[in-house]
Structure 1
Amino acid sequence: MKGDGKSPVRWMALSIGIAGGSWVGSSAVADGDVIFDRGFLRDGGQALDLARFEAAPVLPPGTQRLDTFVNQRPVGRFDVTIEAESEHGPARTCFRRDDLPALGLDLRRLPEQERVQHLLAADCVDLRQLDPNIALDVDVSALTAHLAIPQAYIGRLVRGMVDPQDWDEGITAGFVGYNASAFRNQLDQTGGHDRYYASLNAGLNVAGWRLRHNGTYSRAEQGSEYQAGSTYAQHDLTALKAQGTLGEYFTPGDLFDAMPFTGVALASDERMLPDSQRGFAPTVRGSADTNAQVSIRQAGNLVYQTTVAPGPFVIDDLYNTGYAGDLEVTITEADGREKTFTVPYASVSQLLRPGNSRFSLAAGRYRDDQLDAPPAFVQGTYRYGLSNDLTLYTGSTLAENYLAVLGGAALNTRFGALGADVTRSQASGLPTQVQGIEPRMRGQSYRLTYSERLDATGTNLAIAAYRFSSEGYLSMANFAALKGSDFPTLYRERNRIQLDLDQPLGDSLSLFVNGMRQNYWDRSGTDTTYQAGIGKTFGWGALSFSASRTRQGGGNRRDDEQTQYLATLSVPLSFGERLTGAYLRTSAAYTDSRDRSLQTSLSGSAGETGQFGYSLYQSSNRDEGQRGETRGGSLQYTTSPVALGFSASSGEGYSQYTASARGTVLGYGDGVLFSAGQGETMGVIEAAGGKGARVGSGHNSHLDGQGKALVTGLSPYRRNEVLIDPKGASDDVEFKVSSQVVTPRQGAVVKLDYPTTIGRALLLQVSGEDGGSPPFGAEVLSAAGESLGMIGQAGLALLRIGDDPGPLQVRWGGEAGQSCRLVMGEPIATDSPGDMPRRSARCLAGA
Structure 2
Amino acid sequence: MYSSRLLLTAVLKYSVLSICIANTLSVSHAENTAFNTDFLKDKTDLVAVDALNYGYTIEPGTYEFAVSINNQYIGKRPIHFSKNQDNQVEPCLDQAFIDEYKILFSSAEQKKINAQGCYDLSVIPNAQVNPQIGEQKLNITLPQVNVSQNPRGFVSPVEFDQGIHAVILNYSANTSYFQNRNESDRYNNSLFLNGGFNIGPWRYRNNTNFTQYSGQNSHWQSVSNKLERDFQTKLPTRLEIGDSFSNSDVFDSFNFRGIQLSSDSMQLPSSLQNYAPTIHGTAQSNATVEIRQNGYIVYSTNVAAGHFTIRDLYAANDSGDLEVSVIESDGRVRKFIQPYSSVPNMVRPQQSKFQFTAGQYRSGNDQNYHPYFGQLTYAYGVNNFVTPYTGIIAAEDYYSGAAGLAFSLGSFGALSTDLTYANNKTAQGDSKDGVSVRFLYAKSLNSIGTNFRLVGYRYSSKDYYSFSDAMQERAQYKDGLYQYDYQADNLNNEAQLSEEQRRRYFYSPTYYNKRNQFSVSINQELGDYGQLYLTLAKTDFWQAEFNQENWQVGYNKSFRRFSYGMYYQHSKSMLHNDENIFGVNFTFNLDRVAALKKYDLMSNTNYQHSDRFGENMNSALSGSFLEDKNLSAQIQVSHQEQGNNNQIALNTNYRGTKFNSSLGYTYADQYQQASASIDGGILIHSDGVVFGQQMYGNPILVEAKGAQGVRLENQTGLKVDRSGYAVISSSSAYNRNRVALRAEDFGQNMNIDSPVANDVVPTKNAVVKVKFDVKTGHSVLANLSYQDKFVATAASILDPETQKSVGLVGLDGQAYLTGVQSEQVLIAKWGDESFEQCQFTLPKLSNREMGYDEINSSCHAVEEH
The two structures have a TM-score, normalised by structure 2, of 0.74
1:271 paired with 2:292, answer no
Give deviations 1:632-668, integer Å, cap 9, x for gaps: 2222221222112222221124222222122221212
Q: How far apart, CA to CA, are the structure 1 residues paired with 2:436 and 2:738?
A: 47
Q: Which residue of 2 aligns with 1:667?
A: 684
Deviates more, 1:166-175 or 1:531-540: 166-175
Q: Which residue of 2 aligns with 1:842?
A: 858
Q: Are the counterparts in 1 of residues 786 and 838 from structure 2 also a CA contact under 8 Å?
A: no
Q: Are the counterparts in 2 of residues 578 and 608 from structure 1 also a CA contact under 8 Å?
A: no
Q: Which residue of 1 aligns with 2:101?
A: 103
Matches within 5 A, 1:245-394: 245-275=240-270, 277-278=272-273, 348-368=343-363, 370-394=366-390
1:448 paired with 2:439, answer yes
Q: Are the counterparts in 2 of residues 183 and 658 from structure 1 also a CA contact under 8 Å?
A: yes
Q: Which residue of 2 aligns with 1:532?
A: 553
Q: Which residue identity lines up with residue 237 of structure 1 in the other structure? A: F
Q: How far apart, CA to CA, are the structure 1 residues paired with 2:599 and 2:14?
A: 44
> Aligned pairs, how many?
733
1:511 paired with 2:532, answer yes
Q: Which residue of 2 aligns with 1:311?
A: none
**1:110/1:187 CA distance change after superposition, 3 Å:** farther
Query: Which among 179, 183, 189 is matched to residue 196 of structure 1?
Result: 189
Q: Per-residue deviation at 1:400?
A: 2.5
Q: Which residue of 2 aligns with 1:563?
A: 580
Q: Which residue of 1 aligns with 2:28?
A: none
Q: Are the counterparts in 2 of residues 80 and 93 from structure 1 also a CA contact under 8 Å?
A: no
Query: Which among 396, 412, 417 is matched to residue 414 of structure 2?
Result: 417
Q: How far apart, CA to CA, are the structure 1 residues paired with 2:399 and 2:2?
A: 63
Q: Which residue of 2 aligns with 1:473?
A: 464
Q: How far apart, CA to CA, are the structure 1 residues paired with 2:543 and 2:535?
A: 26
**1:277/1:478 CA distance change after superposition, 3 Å:** closer
Query: Which among 430, 435, 441 is matched to residue 439 of structure 1?
Result: 430
Q: Are the counterparts in 2 of residues 411 and 418 from structure 1 also a CA contact under 8 Å?
A: yes
Q: How far apart, CA to CA, are the structure 2 residues paired with 1:362 and 1:278?
A: 21
| Greater per-residue helix proportion | 2
Q: Per-residue deviation at 1:418?
A: 2.4
Q: Which residue of 1 aligns with 2:669?
A: 652
SS of match in other structure, 1:478: helix
Q: Per-residue deviation at 1:158?
A: 5.2
SS of match in other structure, 2:554: strand
Q: How far apart, CA to CA, are the structure 2 residues paired with 1:56 and 1:722?
A: 38
Query: Which among 421, 424, 429 is matched to residue 427 of structure 1?
Result: 424
Q: Which residue of 2 aligns with 1:70?
A: 69
Q: Per-residue deviation at 1:827?
A: 4.8
Matches within 5 A, 1:90-129: 93=91, 98-106=96-104, 111=109, 115-116=113-114, 118-120=115-117
Query: Which among 212, 215, 219 is matched to residue 225 of structure 1?
Result: 219
Q: Per-residue deviation at 1:708?
A: 2.0
Q: Which residue of 2 aligns with 1:242?
A: 237
Q: How far apart, CA to CA, are the structure 1 residues paired with 2:565 and 2:719?
A: 40
Q: How far apart, CA to CA, are the structure 2 residues paired with 1:261 and 1:816?
A: 70
Q: Which residue of 1 aligns with 2:816?
A: 798
Q: Per-residue deviation at 1:442?
A: 0.9
Q: Which residue of 1 aligns with 2:626?
A: 607
Matches within 5 A, 1:748-759: 748-757=766-775, 759=777
1:701 paired with 2:707, answer no
Q: Per-residue deviation at 1:780?
A: 4.2
Q: Per-residue deviation at 1:774?
A: 5.9
Matches within 5 A, 1:638-787: 638-696=655-713, 698-725=715-742, 727-728=744-745, 732-740=749-757, 741-757=759-775, 759-766=777-784, 780=797, 787=805
Q: How far apart, CA to CA, are the structure 1 residues paired with 2:110 and 2:648?
A: 80
Query: Which among 603, 618, 627 is matched to residue 644 of structure 2?
Result: 627
Q: Which residue identity lines up with residue 817 of structure 2 in the other structure? A: L
Q: Which residue of 2 aligns with 1:292?
A: none
Q: Which residue of 1 aligns with 2:289?
A: none
Q: Which residue identity lines up with residue 749 of structure 1 in the other structure? A: V
Query: Which among 147, 155, 161 is matched to residue 140 of structure 2?
Result: 147
**1:376/1:846 CA distance change after superposition, 3 Å:** closer
**1:839/1:424 CA distance change after superposition, 3 Å:** same
Q: How far apart, CA to CA, are the structure 2 residues paired with 1:494 and 1:598?
A: 39
Q: Which residue of 2 aligns with 1:172?
A: 165
Q: How far apart, CA to CA, are the structure 2 residues paired with 1:60 and 1:639?
A: 48
Q: Which residue identity lines up with residue 602 of structure 1 in the other structure? A: L
Q: Are the counterparts in 1 of residues 778 and 845 from structure 2 also a CA contact under 8 Å?
A: no
Q: How far apart, CA to CA, are the structure 2 residues paired with 1:405 and 1:518?
A: 23
Q: Which residue identity lines up with residue 164 of structure 2 in the other structure? A: I
Query: Which among 401, 405, 412 is matched to residue 405 of structure 1?
Result: 401
Q: Per-residue deviation at 1:699?
A: 3.9
Q: Which residue identity lines up with residue 223 of structure 2 in the other structure? A: G
Query: Which among 66, 71, 79 is matched to residue 77 of structure 2?
Result: 79
- Structure 2 regions of 5+ residues with no counterpart? 23-44, 276-341, 484-510
1:591 paired with 2:618, answer no
Percent identical pairs in the alignment equals: 22
Q: Per-residue deviation at 1:64?
A: 5.5
Q: Per-residue deviation at 1:675?
A: 2.0
The two structures have a TM-score, normalised by structure 1, of 0.76
**1:388/1:622 CA distance change after superposition, 3 Å:** same
Q: Per-residue deviation at 1:232?
A: 1.7
Q: How far apart, CA to CA, are the structure 1 residues paired with 2:646 and 2:855?
A: 70
Q: Per-residue deviation at 1:742?
A: 3.0
Query: Which among 212, 215, 218 is matched to residue 208 of structure 2?
Result: 215
Q: Are the counterparts in 2 of residues 780 and 809 from structure 1 also a CA contact under 8 Å?
A: yes
Q: Are the counterparts in 1 of residues 112 and 121 from structure 2 also a CA contact under 8 Å?
A: no
**1:657/1:838 CA distance change after superposition, 3 Å:** farther
Q: Per-residue deviation at 1:565?
A: 0.9
Q: Are the counterparts in 1 of residues 60 and 83 from structure 2 also a CA contact under 8 Å?
A: no
Q: How far apart, CA to CA, are the structure 2 residues paired with 1:155 and 1:477?
A: 43
Q: How far apart, CA to CA, are the structure 1 residues paired with 2:116 and 2:10?
A: 34
Q: Are the counterparts in 1 of residues 344 and 441 from structure 2 also a CA contact under 8 Å?
A: no
Q: How far apart, CA to CA, are the structure 1 residues paired with 2:162 and 2:720?
A: 23
Q: How far apart, CA to CA, are the structure 2 residues paired with 1:730 and 1:168?
A: 32
Q: Are the counterparts in 1 of residues 556 and 565 from structure 2 also a CA contact under 8 Å?
A: yes
SS of match in other structure, 1:507: helix
Q: Which residue identity lines up with residue 517 of structure 2 in the other structure? A: R
Q: Are the counterparts in 2 of residues 491 and 522 from structure 1 also a CA contact under 8 Å?
A: yes
Q: Per-residue deviation at 1:717?
A: 2.0
Q: How far apart, CA to CA, are the structure 2 residues paired with 1:420 and 1:765?
A: 79
Q: Per-residue deviation at 1:514?
A: 1.3
Q: Which residue identity lines up with residue 244 of structure 1 in the other structure? A: L
Q: Per-residue deviation at 1:757?
A: 4.2
Q: How far apart, CA to CA, are the structure 1 residues paired with 2:667 and 2:50?
A: 74
Q: Are the counterparts in 2 of residues 536 and 544 from structure 1 also a CA contact under 8 Å?
A: yes
Q: Are the counterparts in 2 of residues 110 and 153 from structure 1 also a CA contact under 8 Å?
A: no
Q: Per-residue deviation at 1:12?
A: 11
**1:534/1:725 CA distance change after superposition, 3 Å:** closer
**1:591/1:378 CA distance change after superposition, 3 Å:** same
Q: How far apart, CA to CA, are the structure 2 residues paired with 1:743 and 1:238?
A: 14
